[in-house]
Amino acid sequence: MIVEGSKEVRLYRTGGVEFFDNYKMSKACLTPQQLPAADEYVRIAKELLKKLEACELVPKGLEMTFAELANDTIVFAFRNGTRETFLNNVHVNFALSYNGIPIWGPGAKVRVYIGEGGEVMGFIGRFWKVRSASEVPILRPEEVVQKLKELGYGRSVPREMVSKVIVKSIELVYYAPPPDVEPTQLVPFYVVKGVLVGKDGRIFDFAQAVPAIRS
């Protein structure tokens, strides 16, 4: 980690890069008028990624596509009972994939934090330096559904309270752990998304990761 004043840079052996201006990230208190238009956020973020690619910080085979805009907000409550919301930043999120297969999990994050005047205040790039280790047999999608029954459906509803499960999609991904966790490997997983119907009639969305390697 490199620190200079309120700024810090972190580099990971896996290829991850992080940058934060901690003062601006924690103190910014902006109105929407002080921030660029939505399409400008995406342009600024893509320009930054192009510069990082030009510096060869993005490994070959790693692909990034725009996913969504989000923001961090600060809510002030006043003694007269009124509330006012300000923005700390807007961040642009990108989805990662390797050779056409999505990378999913806590280590699959590319995010650009943008503040007043379009300034980049922070950046998270999980730029995995991928090297093929081996080929492994994986489960078929119909086997994944059976495996899901064994693992459960996440934290939204206890298994004993589920009366019906509706699977909407099954997607093969590479699961990426946090960049500081050993061993640092991308492992095939299936991400199963769907709907749970509780015994009380309530409905919940779920997304559950299922190991794809055949044991």
Q: What's the sign of the alpha-carbon dihedral 41, 45, 51, 53?
A: negative
Q: Are residues 58 and 12 in the same domain?
A: yes
**Which three-class secondary structure state does DSSP give residue 53?**
helix
Examine residue 64 and state whether it is found in any structural domain, yes or no. yes
Per-residue pLDDT of the chain (215 residues; tens, 9 = 90+): 777 788 899 888 877 889 999 888 777 677 777 777 888 989 999 999 999 888 888 888 889 999 998 888 776 666 677 777 777 788 899 999 988 899 999 889 999 998 888 889 999 998 888 777 788 899 998 899 888 888 877 776 777 788 888 899 999 999 998 877 766 788 899 999 999 898 888 898 888 889 999 87
Q: Of the candidates 99, 125, 151, which is a domain's last residue? A: 125
- pLDDT score, position 159: 77
Examine residue 130 and state whether it is found in any structural domain, yes or no. no
Q: Residue 158, Cβ neighbours under 10 Å: how many?
A: 10
User: What range does the domain containing 199 cover?
Assistant: 141-211
Triad 195, 187, 179: Cα angle to 5°: 100
Examine residue 44 and state whether it is found in any structural domain, yes or no. yes
Q: Are residues 71 and 149 in the same domain?
A: no
- pLDDT score, position 45: 94
Q: Are residues 28 and 106 in the same domain?
A: yes
Q: Of the candidates 71, 101, 125, which is a domain's last residue? A: 125
Examine residue 12 and state whether it is found in any structural domain, yes or no. yes
Q: Are residues 20 and 90 in the same domain?
A: yes
When divided into structural domains, the chain yields a total of: 2
Q: Are residues 89 and 177 in the same domain?
A: no
- Is residue 129 classed exposed, middle or buried when 0-12, 13-18 and 19+ CB atoms within 10 A define those classes? middle
Is the bond leading into 183 cis (omega within 30 degrees of zero)?
yes
- pLDDT score, position 169: 93
